[in-house]
Structure 1
Amino acid sequence: MTTTLELANIDDAEILNSTSIEAFTGDYEEYGSYPPGIGSIGWHQSEIEKGHYYKIQFNGETAGGICVIPSDNDRIEIKYFFITEKYQNRQIGSTTIELIEKQYSDAAVWVLSTPYKSFRNHHFYEKNGFIKVGESQPIPNNPFRLFEYKKEIGK
């Protein structure tokens, strides 16, 4: 049982698109929409071209993806991180966090946002060393909120 990260190439856009839609279906059912861009193959192609979008492989099959945004000051934002339901509860997520941290070993700070009702995500990120540091309301007058998480890695 092996989890690996592979830098996505343009040929992976379709599988990442369908995998992400499947993984974020619960968000769609809860909030009435997918995360921005997820339903567009063009969005996936654009992110792949930026060079920081990875396929999560489990025993040679695509289990999900992780898209990060590095900045100049040793900070990495996890923009999207998803694993389909079929592959959940197999330590793939925790292994992916370890692998992406090794890939960007110079990063001292990791940040991400996740929906306020995504309790499994909250537990997962906290289990992997992230601390809730804030909340935001992306759309004024809409009850939807994002919880902001941060992880600092001592060098």
Structure 2
Amino acid sequence: MIIKLDFQNMNLVRDLFNLQRVSYLVEAKLINFFEIPPLKESMEELLESSETFFGYFIGEELAGALSYTYDNKELTICRMVVHPNHFRKGIAEALFKYIEKEHPDLTIIKVSTGKDNAPAKGFYLKNGFILVGDLEVVPGLYISNFEKRKDEPS
């Protein structure tokens, strides 16, 4: 089940906080960079986020989450996290497709991930994104930027 996350529910926020920690730790190891912002984020900073969050639940467990910003028909995926116990179960794809349906008028979706995060890059390419370039964000760390235009076949 996918639902919009209610930040008034502190147990749910705690679950999200822990989920992103364990998920981004996997990426940190893949890209050999442990300063990924969500790994450094405090609970208070998460609560102050202006992103919209949706969660994927297996029973009562928050198994995955996606956050985004939406402006002028442009959606930017800010976070895509799945608990390592639930990798390769279609959770990220279900979240992604749900968000696309929530915004039928969007024209472009943007997302980025660590250049050395092969599983994430493969996921985005499989789901119709095009690599638009790599950017060095700090010395030695490159981020791959992807876009999916809604006027293009996927």
**TM-score, structure 2 length as denominator?**
0.87
Identity of aligned residues (%): 17
Q: What's the counterpart of residue 105 of structure 1?
A: 104
1:154 CA displacement: 2.5
Structure 1 residue runs of 4 or more that deviate by more than 3 Å after TM superposition:
none
Q: What's the counterpart of residue 136 of structure 2?
A: 137
Q: Does 1:153 align with 2:150?
A: yes
Amino acid at match of 1:154: D
Amino acid at match of 2:36: P
* Structure 1: unaligned runs, 5 residues or longer: none
Answer whether contact 2:65 2:95 (CA < 8 A) is retained: no
1:34 CA displacement: 4.3
Q: How does 1:68-107 map to 2 (within 5 A)?
A: 68-72=68-72, 74-107=73-106
* Structure 2: unaligned runs, 5 residues or longer: none
Q: What's the counterpart of residue 33 of structure 2?
A: 32
Q: What are the superposed Cα offsets for residues 41-94 of structure 1, whole Å, 9 maximum, x if unpaired?
A: 1121112xx36122222334201211101112x101001111011111111111
Q: 1:34 to 1:99 in 2, by over 3 A?
A: farther
Amino acid at match of 2:13: A
Alpha-carbon distance in 2 for matches of 1:144, 1:62: 30
**TM-score, structure 1 length as denominator?**
0.86
Q: What's the counterpart of residue 58 of structure 1?
A: 58
